Amino acid sequence: MSELRQDLKYSKEHEWVEVLGDNKVRIGITDYAQNSLGDIVFVEVPGVGDEVTANETMGSVESVKAVSDVYCPVTGKVVEINESLEEAPEVINEDPYGKGWMVVVEISDPSELDQLLSAEEYDAFIKEEE
C-alpha cells in the first residue's frame, strides 16, 4: 500500500503539492508513482526562474523500467530546485515526501490548489487505477 500524507494535495498525474505559504508550494512525485517506477536513476527538473504551467510537463523521472514525464500541478515560476537529486535521484524512492521533493514554485493563481485532490480523494483514485 502506498503511503500518503494527509497535509498534502495530490494530482491525478501522481504529483504531490505542499503549501509552504507566501504563494509558494513544494512539488514531488507520490509514493505510488515511485513504487510504480522502481529504482530511479535520473531526474530532470526545470531551472530556477523557469515558468511552469498547470497540467503541462515540467520534467521527467527515469527509472530502470521507464522514463516518465512529471507534470506541474500549478502555474507559476520555479524559485528553487532540489539540486541533491542530480547526485542522488534514488532519494525519491527512499523519501518521496521529504528529501525527494523536486521543485518549489511560486504560484500565480492560488485557486488552482482547489482543483487538486485530498489524500482521501487521491487514495480512491489510485485504487480505481489498480
How do the domains of the chain map onto residue ranges?
9-113
Q: Looking at beta carbons, which pairs linking 64-70 to residues 24 or more positions away fall under 8 Å?
A: 64/38, 64/39, 65/37, 65/38, 66/37, 68/33, 68/37, 70/13, 70/15, 70/29, 70/45, 70/102
Is the pLDDT assigned to residue 116 strictly greater than 90? yes
Does pTM top 0.75 for this prediction?
yes
pLDDT in tens, 15-69: 999 999 999 999 999 999 999 999 999 999 999 999 999 999 999 999 999 999 9
pLDDT in tens, 60-99: 999 999 999 999 999 999 999 999 999 999 999 999 999 9
For residue 129, what pLDDT is reported? 84
CATH class of 9-113: mainly beta
Positive or negative, the CA dihedral 45, 39, 54, 24 is: negative
Helix ranges restricted to H, 47-99: 84-87, 91-94
